[in-house]
Structure 1
Amino acid sequence: MSRDLFRQAAKERQTLFNAWLMLNNPLALELAGEAGWDCVTLDQQHGAGGNETLLACLTAAKAAGLPAIVRVANNDPGLVGRALDAGAQGIMCPLINNVEEAEAFVRAVKYPPRGLRSWGPYRAKIGYSGDYFTEANDFTIACPQVETKGALDQLDEILSLEGVDMVCFGPNDLSVALTGRLDIWAKEVQEAMTEVLKKAREKSVMTLIFCNDADFAKPRIEEGWDIVAVGTDAGWLSSAAEATRAAVSPGS
């Protein structure tokens, strides 16, 4: 089997830093790798580009040595299979509402007998050191998001599913679902975050959390989340552009 940084780091209790890309530009991805990020998420739910962009970014990710997770637009087996065949190791699925939806998602990620993934890893098997078919179910990562009240209510059942390898805690959407407002520091979100981390550890499920900024990320690192994303490439560019422009403004 090829090196599995995600599972290796989780076993060693080493936090990985995840570059969350919405612009989905191959050069930006390589720059993130050069800057020291450990892995990437390519966002095809709220990010730019289609399949050709995805393929280019996954090619760049392999060149940069960054294992990649793809967040698909929705719980669609065709989108899941396409991203896996193109070389994604992990698939993240947004807006999971119940255990039935989580089960359908896992089945899309895994080959038979566990799942229904169709054979055709035209790029995923390039450079793979081993028998991709027999090892893929243990190498690929099914990562449902916990960002709805339904997923939180059925958290135990979802985490108990065979093939749920990782969960992603989405504080923004969950804050809206629980409080009706966008507030990731809300008490309800903090309590849910603690519960998800605790129960995922009990089930030996890897954990990923999206953090809007460094202030939210630092406590999560101390808590021991396996993978921490801090902002997005779009946010980084916007902040740097604003700061640079401000630095050369008259009177600055």
Structure 2
Amino acid sequence: MTTDIDGFAGRLKRRENGGMISAWIGTPDPLLVNHLSQEAFDAIVLDMQHGMWDMASAANGISQVRLAGKPAIARIPVGDFASASRLLDAGASAIIAPMINSADDARALVKATKYPPLGERSWGPSLALNHFGIAADEYLQGANGLTVTIAMVETRAALDAIDEILAVDGIDGIFIGPSDLSIALSNGARLAPDSAAIDQTLAHAVARCRAHGKLICAFGTDGERAGQFLKLGLDLVIAGAETAQLRAGARTAIAAARKVAAS
């Protein structure tokens, strides 16, 4: 029997406060992580797929999140399941894996992120033991429950196989990537992450996740979109990337200065 030692998996499943809101950081700077970790985000995602994080900087970033008392989530590059195990060893509470298009892909992800009997994760969680503050035996017994394995659904193939993916033991939930999914649904014709087609797909995905008792998460382009996702019933949402938030804040400050100067 597994335990939920740090509470993250349990809070996700209970949808406390109507669901979690996470930061999303691709800029490989632990100091930036430190700043955003002080805000009221429920979690922090380090994006290693399209962001510039390497393993050393990601481990430092995870430490900054953990020191702020929050769960760190890492999105790995496509197919890089070996990194998934190392990030969990570094103290990540969850792994998001892109382009999981089949039950076979999902099973390969579980092999890397769960200890037996669910998977084949190799032992070596030295930093994780420090961050969780527990003994090795306790971590081994609880790890499969306290770490969260999330498969990204962002292609037509993944949508067609969504029930098979969700049925894989050890997959805790899915993450909808609206941008790639909109490209896939339009056969490459457009990038429309905020379209009605995506909303319909999300509603279907929520229903399938509830039927399987699994979690559902998604990337929102901004806070308003993230709020719409929470209303739809998602368990964890992204309220935009850190680069968009940084530039939006800069534009707001510049506009305010110009307005006052001209008055």
What TM-score range do you get, normalising by the shorter chain?
over 0.9
- Matched with 2:170 is 163
Q: Distance in 2 between matches of 1:43 and 1:211?
A: 14
- Matched with 1:7 is 10
Contact 2:151 2:171 in 1 (8 A): yes
Q: Distance in 2 between matches of 1:232 and 1:200?
A: 25
Q: Distance in 2 between matches of 1:212 and 1:248?
A: 26
Given candidates 57, 76, 99, the residue that maps to 2:80 is: 76
Contact 2:9 2:148 in 1 (8 A): no
Contact 1:99 1:151 in 2 (8 A): no
- Tell me the secondary structure at the aligned position of residue 123 of structure 1: helix
- Matched with 1:129 is 134
- Tell me the secondary structure at the aligned position of residue 115 of structure 2: coil
Given candidates 50, 57, 67, the residue that maps to 2:54 is: 50
What are the Cα deviations for residues 82-119 of structure 1, in whole angstroms up to 9, with x where unaligned?
Answer: 11111111111001121111111111111122211111
Q: Does 1:231 align with 2:240?
A: yes
Compute the displacement of 1:12 (Å): 4.8
Q: Distance in 1 between matches of 2:220 and 2:121?
A: 31
AA of the residue aligned to 2:104 = E
Q: Does 1:119 align with 2:123?
A: yes
Q: Does 1:37 align with 2:46?
A: no
Tell me the number of residue pairs that the alignment of Structure 1 and Structure 2 aligns: 252
AA of the residue aligned to 1:172 = S
TM-score (norm 1): 0.94
Mean CA deviation greater in 23-32 or 48-57: 23-32
TM-score (norm 2): 0.90
- Tell me the secondary structure at the aligned position of residue 242 of structure 1: helix
Unmatched tracts of structure 1, length 5 or more: none
AA of the residue aligned to 1:4 = G
Compute the displacement of 1:28 (Å): 2.1
- Matched with 1:200 is 209
- Matched with 1:18 is 22
- Matched-pair identity in %: 32
- Tell me the secondary structure at the aligned position of residue 125 of structure 1: helix
More helix by share: 2
Q: Distance in 2 between matches of 1:136 and 1:11?
A: 19
Runs of 4+ in 1 over 6 A off after TM superposition: none
